[in-house]
Amino acid sequence: MPLVTPIPAPAFIACMLVAAVLLAAWTLVRFDGLGPRSLTGGFFAMLAAFALIAAVPAIIDGIVAARIPGTKELVVFGLGLPVFTYFFLAGGWFMRSLMRFPGHFS
């Protein structure tokens, strides 16, 4: 019988956000050619990330209304982790495009 130790929700969320940051950082470094190359592209990637974050409550409501089995796991690992990974990845893309902008401060 497996030993089950409950973990507080804030600690789990913090671990999930750290995992999303690490996945985004790995993607940014590993796939250097992926993502926007212009400042405008980086800005729109961030805008898309913010729109996706804003849509999460409606998507969760849709998942709950569909009565899909394993709703909690689906929301956390099938929605939350990918959305936050993209959010941090888009932030990295925006920062990369900002650093490549010709008039940036160095």
DSSP string, 28-95: HHHTTT-S--SHHHHHHHHHHHHHHHHHHHHHHHHHHHTT-TTHHHIIIIIIIHHHHHHHHHHHHHHH
Residue numbers of the domain that contains 86 = 37-106
Over range 81-103, report the average pLDDT: 90
Residue 105 lies in a domain: yes
Residue 71 lies in a domain: yes
Q: Is residue 22 part of a domain?
A: no
- Single-letter amino acid code for the residue at 60: I
Per-residue pLDDT of 44-70, as tens digits, reads: 999 999 999 999 999 999 989 998 888
The predicted structure's pLDDT at residue 57 = 93
Q: Is the pLDDT of residue 103 over 70?
A: no
- Number of structural domains in the chain: 1
